[in-house]
Structure 1
Amino acid sequence: MVARAPDRSFRSLSGLERTASTSRVLNLAAVASQNVGDPEYEASPFFRAAALNGAVIIKHRIRNDEQYIFEQAKRISTKVIIPFERTDLSLGGRSLFVGQRGWQELLNQLRGSQEDEARDVALLEALDELPSLDPFLLREHLKRRDFKIANCYFAISAPDLERMQRFVSGEISKLVDLAYGGGKTTGAPNANISKLVSLLLSGQDDARLEPLRLTLGLEGENFREGIFSWKGFLYYKWVLNSLWPELRGVISELTEIKVVGPRDYEMMSQVKEVGGRVNQAILGQVRKVRSTLQVYDDAFAELTQAGNPMAFRNFLLKSPEMFITLGERTGMVSHIASFWRYRFPKGRPLKVELDELFDILQDFHQGLGEDEDKTAPAAVVGDSALIDPVTTEPIGKAV
């Protein structure tokens, strides 16, 4: 199978070479070009096979005409694209889906090496377990699977990481306080809670987590999986808080963007219709993400405020399945926000040719899938009837 990029640079693989990884893209080609000569990069590569270590990994929404290559129906799969030329991704590359029929045989052909084949296969299967490629969750997940990989592959900025750690610590310290009595039995409460929060976030098994495990009433793998999914919920809660202003900007700018160049009346009409559906679908996905996060908030409140550990225990047992859906939905809107800002940087004219805008909106609409909010009427580009699900105020302005 050959992945060919279209000529338009913003829609091509070559555009990815200049971008960081996102929730849907792990750009190993860009990491390679940015870390030449870095000792840690050389010592702890992502994949052992050099060809794979320059690949572009994508969380791909399976289209109807692609389902036949899988044994079972899938919504999301992990796509591996190995460029023909790393320094010019516009030339395209060879690709495969993890889990497609005969994928390991195809992978053997693409790797170009028999060294550490089992490790690279196991790593791809681990990537396929995740709903998205968010750097924090990717790092945590692979650490739990004992893969030793250089930090440069997980593009989380130091300020973002610090803010996320503070947010997560503020949330889970309530439970640590409940399980350990505020740490009063072993010294300064705040210092002990901080250490236990760091230990919990590290994902390491440690006897000091035993009081927390007993409070939650979980054993072995259920405890480890529940804690990981819980951290995932907290991460996505933080992501949505950080992402929502960007999504508001995308929705608003879709009502303001100016079409330049040749115009076709029929395509203009289609752009307005698809743009409205994209905006409404974004809002619908955000509502659903918030609804899922509310399940967590309610269960956590039952534990920390009502003293009912069974509610939160039951949530943790169900959370791995919920985590997958939450990750898919958050990844959908995160991709839209990141691509839109990459294509239309702040401070630059908000202008685009009609055919490119149509392609962008079609891609967004397909990425959001058929899961859009059916309870709300579709708006059109330029319609001010788009409602913020948080403030209930209109987004954008009428034209």
Structure 2
Amino acid sequence: MVARAQDRSYRSLSGLERTASTSRVLNLAAVASQNAGDPEYESAPFFKATSLNGAVIIKHRLRADEQYIFDQSKRISTKVIIPFERTDLGLGGRSLFVGQRGWQDLLYQLRGSQEDEARDIALLEALDELPSLDPFLLREHLKRRDFKIANCYFAISAADLERMQRFVSGEISKLVDLAYGGGKGGSPNANISKLVSLLLSGQDDARLEPLRLTLGLEGENFREGIFSWKGFLYYKWVLNSLWPELRQVIAELSEIKVVGPRDYEMLNQVKDVGARVNQAILGQVRKVRASLQVYDDAFGELTQAGNPMAFRNFLLKSPEMFITLGERTGMVSHIASFWRYRFPKGRPLRVELDELFDILQDFHQGLGEDDDHKAKTPGEAPEGELLDPASSEAIGRAVV
């Protein structure tokens, strides 16, 4: 249950009312508000049950006191919040976790209809398979599961998709020589464009057969490996775009000013949590980069050394690695997107102390700092990254 009260859960739900989806949040209530009357939205809804189609779906990092409702331990779960009133999330709502004991019985009570129940359950289970709710991966994953859903639910712009395609083209150009014979039967650029389109289409296609033969994979192993490969390429592209945004967050945390009453004990707690958040951000990005380096090394073996076995072995392991990579990228992506939502560019960087404490606490818990705190030495930036020299202490100084 999400009740209206003066706590972080209420403020978080209420705050979603004006924001769109992020890597951690799929805000179907906002999609409903923005696309009411759109024929495609009306003909291909996300969920068939009206109540679910106005829900807020969250990738939630489970706390210790929430583990007991699951039969097996989990780090991340998919939380479904059905608002009491979708036009006013501040009124709260009812919630459940996908996979908790008895969750389908709870869902039956909340849906309000038996029509297409099996389809909505299967869709929720498909969402739970993903490490995050990044719109590109969400769209690709649900295509593979044969769900017909309107494009308005996947808020990736045409410009972003074009940049993603250019990035992937640059990444896989050397592979074309191996799998498609370079310029044989067409120009190299045409072959690269063809392979990129096939990889990003989300559909099985016989034209991928040369790639399958090059990698020596069969059936489901090939399909799962290709999807996870797309995930690695997507997260590599995301990280390249995300770093400038994270650097801005770190810089703005050093500039933010507290307004209103000050409690000096809470002020010290904010400094402590802020410093931990900073280190946890850097630690998570290091781990994302380490995972991407595993991919780069395996791909290099394929394209530079002509050794397909290394990349084949990577693809066989990649579905499991992809989940962890997605969780970690989603953690830092959420921080960048939420910070910019709360503090738009050009607006004064001012906040009350208790709200800043809540924001940093949310970041701290979402980053999993307690699990992943043993990163490199404090203040050490990821290799190759040009952070401000004092960035490791920036958050700790935020409110002085």
**Residues of 2 paired with 1:101 and 1:143: CA distance?**
28
Task: Identify if the C-alpha distance between structure 1 residues 89 and 243 changes in structure 2 by more than 3 Å, giving closer, same or farther.
Answer: same
- CA-to-aligned-CA distance 1:141-175 (integer Å, 9 cap, x gap): 00000000000000011211111111112212321
Matched position secondary structure for 1:326: helix
**Residues of 2 paired with 1:2 and 1:321: CA distance?**
32
**374, 378, 387: which one aligns with 2:381:** 387
Give the match for residue 89 of structure 1. Answer: 89
Give the match for residue 102 of structure 1. Answer: 102
**Residues of 2 paired with 1:9 and 1:116: CA distance?**
31
Matches within 5 A, 1:50-129: 50-129=50-129
Task: Kindly state the Cα deviation for residue 213 of structure 1 after the two structures are TM-superposed.
Answer: 0.2
Give the match for residue 268 of structure 1. Answer: 267
Task: Kindly state the Cα deviation for residue 231 of structure 1 after the two structures are TM-superposed.
Answer: 0.2
**Residues of 2 paired with 1:202 and 1:374: CA distance?**
39
**Residues of 1 paired with 2:92 and 2:179: CA distance?**
54
Give the match for residue 244 of structure 1. Answer: 243
Task: Kindly state the Cα deviation for residue 12 of structure 1 after the two structures are TM-superposed.
Answer: 3.2
**Residues of 2 paired with 1:118 and 1:304: CA distance?**
44
- CA-to-aligned-CA distance 1:42-79 (integer Å, 9 cap, x gap): 00000000000000000000110000100101100000
- CA-to-aligned-CA distance 1:301-353 (integer Å, 9 cap, x gap): 00000000000000000000000000000000000111111111111111111
Asked if residue 19 in structure 1 is aligned to residue 13 in structure 2, the reply is no
**Residues of 2 paired with 1:178 and 1:234: CA distance?**
19
Q: Retained in 2: the 8 A contact 1:5–1:12?
A: no
Matched position secondary structure for 2:372: coil
Unaligned runs of 5+ in 2: none
Asked if residue 356 in structure 1 is aligned to residue 355 in structure 2, the reply is yes
Q: Retained in 1: the 8 A contact 2:172–2:192?
A: no
Q: Retained in 1: the 8 A contact 2:301–2:311?
A: yes
Matched position secondary structure for 1:73: coil
Matched position secondary structure for 1:371: helix
Q: Which moved more, 1:160-169 or 1:40-49?
A: 160-169
**Residues of 1 paired with 2:10 and 2:248: CA distance?**
20
**1:372 aligned partner, one-letter code:** D
Matched position secondary structure for 1:12: helix
**Residues of 2 paired with 1:386 and 1:248: CA distance?**
14
**Residues of 1 paired with 2:382 and 2:250: CA distance?**
10
Q: Retained in 2: the 8 A contact 1:177–1:193?
A: no
**Residues of 2 paired with 1:187 and 1:376: CA distance?**
48
Matched position secondary structure for 1:334: helix
Task: Kindly state the Cα deviation for residue 8 of structure 1 after the two structures are TM-superposed.
Answer: 7.8
- CA-to-aligned-CA distance 1:159-203 (integer Å, 9 cap, x gap): 11111111112212321231111141x233322331222012112
**Residues of 1 paired with 2:306 and 2:5: CA distance?**
56
**Residues of 2 paired with 1:6 and 1:212: CA distance?**
56
Unaligned runs of 5+ in 1: 379-384
Matches within 5 A, 1:315-330: 315-330=314-329
**2:228 aligned partner, one-letter code:** S
**1:75 aligned partner, one-letter code:** R
- RMSD across aligned positions (CA): 1.8
- CA-to-aligned-CA distance 1:73-124 (integer Å, 9 cap, x gap): 1100000000000111000000000000000000011000111000000000
**Residues of 1 paired with 2:8 and 2:217: CA distance?**
52
**Residues of 2 paired with 1:4 and 1:215: CA distance?**
57
Percent of aligned pairs sharing the same letter: 87
Task: Identify if the C-alpha distance between structure 1 residues 32 and 219 changes in structure 2 by more than 3 Å, giving closer, same or farther.
Answer: same
Task: Identify if the C-alpha distance between structure 1 residues 217 and 252 changes in structure 2 by more than 3 Å, giving closer, same or farther.
Answer: same
Q: Retained in 2: the 8 A contact 1:282–1:368?
A: yes
Q: Retained in 2: the 8 A contact 1:248–1:395?
A: no
Asked if residue 38 in structure 1 is aligned to residue 48 in structure 2, the reply is no
Give the match for residue 196 of structure 1. Answer: 195
Give the match for residue 29 of structure 1. Answer: 29
Q: Retained in 1: the 8 A contact 2:179–2:210?
A: yes
**Residues of 1 paired with 2:123 and 2:331: CA distance?**
23
Normalised TM-score (structure 2): 0.94
Give the match for residue 253 of structure 1. Answer: 252
Q: Retained in 1: the 8 A contact 2:28–2:54?
A: yes
**Residues of 2 paired with 1:81 and 1:348: CA distance?**
31
Paired residues in the alignment total 392
Q: Retained in 1: the 8 A contact 2:46–2:53?
A: yes
Task: Identify if the C-alpha distance between structure 1 residues 233 and 196 changes in structure 2 by more than 3 Å, giving closer, same or farther.
Answer: same
Give the match for residue 156 of structure 2. Answer: 156
Task: Identify if the C-alpha distance between structure 1 residues 389 and 6 changes in structure 2 by more than 3 Å, giving closer, same or farther.
Answer: farther
**Residues of 1 paired with 2:263 and 2:105: CA distance?**
47
Q: Which moved more, 1:175-184 or 1:339-348?
A: 175-184
Q: Retained in 2: the 8 A contact 1:12–1:90?
A: no
Q: Retained in 2: the 8 A contact 1:251–1:395?
A: no
Matched position secondary structure for 2:82: strand
Task: Identify if the C-alpha distance between structure 1 residues 2 and 177 changes in structure 2 by more than 3 Å, giving closer, same or farther.
Answer: same
Give the match for residue 187 of structure 1. Answer: 186
Task: Kindly state the Cα deviation for residue 376 of structure 1 after the two structures are TM-superposed.
Answer: 3.9
